[in-house]
A = this chain, B = another copy of it.
Amino acid sequence: MLIVKKFGGTSVGDKDRIFNVARRCIEEYQKGNDVVVVLSAMGKTTDHLLEQARDINPKAPKRELDMLMTVGEQTSVALMAMAMHALGVPAISLNAFQIGMRTTSNYGNSRLKDIDTERIRHELDNRKIVIITGFQGVNKYEDYTTLGRGGSDTTAVALAAVLHADACEIFTDVDGVYTADPRIVVNARKLKEITYDEMLDLATSGAGVLHNRSVEMAKKYGVTLVVRSSLNDSEGTVVKEEVSVERMLISGAALDKKAARISVLGVKDEPGIAFKLFNTLSKNNINVDIILQSVGRDGTKDISFTVDEDDVDEVISLIEKNKTRITAQKVTCMRDIAKISIVGAGMVSNPGVAAKMFESLYNAGININMISTSEIRITVLVAQEDAEKALIACHDAFGLAD
């Protein structure tokens, strides 16, 4: 068997944790399996490097930022290889140049294109544990690139895909995917299995276990993921195409407090306005989530949408600059809101799910601000002060608890 194991920054944050990870990987190796390990930068290393960069140049070129960032993972993998050698097991660390980890040419947020597996196969054939830098790649200019948030998960999935691994285990500080954030919903239940699509909708709805790009890639290449704890041996959650257990109507509920609502009021009711608005935003790398358009008065309409809280100032300034082009009369913003989503592949064939969700919120006395639905997800905006109460209400309504 070939197993890919990915450990995040906190899992390799200090000497003890490094040895803990080394021992877990060696256990797998000693069963006779081939083991490929993907690591992030240790603990706060990435933050520390970013700070150094900002101190020298707050507008540092992204190309040089990537050159700087990649030292974080290189440090992790070298130290991990040393730890495994200390435990008497042959291991070798490899970086993006050494495994031809090719990406698109953009910096800071590039996408993986290709991996040359020859070196990895060679080292595995020599019965070495192969330790690979997550998060980084090399573009066509032979420059380092980085994969953006959650990039190491994507590295692990890509490696599992090209190596035809038998399993891809993502180790985190939680022990699996829960029906809701257990810090808020005390009776939340760990899921044994979840589909890629459900996981994707949960990820975009604020459940931070896996980054959605890695789930997309796992779905595309049929890589079965296991989300497990790096601290204990509990079984974790399997993410795959079809779940084998009897399907629940709803798999989970998620809360995203970092959403903010922008409303562009009084734009002309003519073709092309929405295009101009959202094209401006996407050109500036602003991710827009829920979009809602309502007819206003006097032949005008209002467009509302949600963005990440951090992007609010930029969005407002962009709209103000383009006010004439998009014929906006006024822009308003609401920061103290939260997004509540329920996700479940089962809802496709079950009408009445939305109604049940709205009923549970009504019973809890919570006002719904905006509604958006996809095939397997229903999202509502509520006031931030109602957020936890709303999450618990939905979680209870669908019997997700233990």
Contacts and interface: CB of A to CB of B under 8 A. Distances in A.
Interface of A: 15, 18-19, 49, 52-53, 55-57, 59-61, 63-65, 67-68, 70-71, 74-75, 77-79, 81-83, 85-86, 92-93, 95, 97-98, 119, 142-143
Given A18-B56, A86-B57, A142-B98, A93 B75 contact: no
A114 to B, nearest CB: 17
10 contacts: A15-B55, A53-B79, A53-B82, A56-B82, A60-B82, A64-B93, A67-B81, A67-B93, A68-B75, A68-B78
A73 to B, nearest CB: 10
Copies per complex of this chain: 2
Contact of A82 (B18, B64, B83, B143): B64
Contacts of A64: 78, 81-82, 85, 92-93
Nearest to A96: B97
Given A64-B81, A98-B143, A119-B142, A56 B93 contact: no
A83 B55 CA distance: 10
Nearest to A70: B74
A67 B83 CA distance: 14
Contacts of A85: 57, 59-61, 64
A48 to B, nearest CB: 11
Contacts of A55: 15
Contacts of A92: 63-64
B63 A71 contact: no
Nearest to A73: B71
Contact of A79 (B19, B52, B75): B52
A56 B87 CA distance: 10
Contacts of A19: 56
Contacts of A52: 75, 79
Given A57-B82, A64-B78, A97-B97, 7 more contacts: A56-B79, A57-B85, A64-B92, A67-B95, A71-B74, A71-B78, A98-B143
A66 to B, nearest CB: 9
A142 B97 contact: yes
A142 B116 CA distance: 13
A93 B68 CA distance: 10
A368 to B, nearest CB: 47
Contacts of A79: 52-53, 56, 68
A64 B77 CA distance: 9
A81 B98 contact: no
B82 A78 contact: no
Contacts of A83: 56-57
Which 9 A-B pairs have CB atoms at the shortest separation, nearest pair first? Answer: A68-B78, A71-B71, A57-B86, A57-B82, A67-B78, A60-B82, A97-B97, A64-B81, A56-B82
A84 to B, nearest CB: 9
A373 B183 CA distance: 78
A69 B61 CA distance: 24
Interface centre among A15, A81, A143 (most CB of B within 10 A): A81
A226 to B, nearest CB: 28
A127 to B, nearest CB: 15
Contacts of A63: 92
Nearest to A22: B56
A25 to B, nearest CB: 15
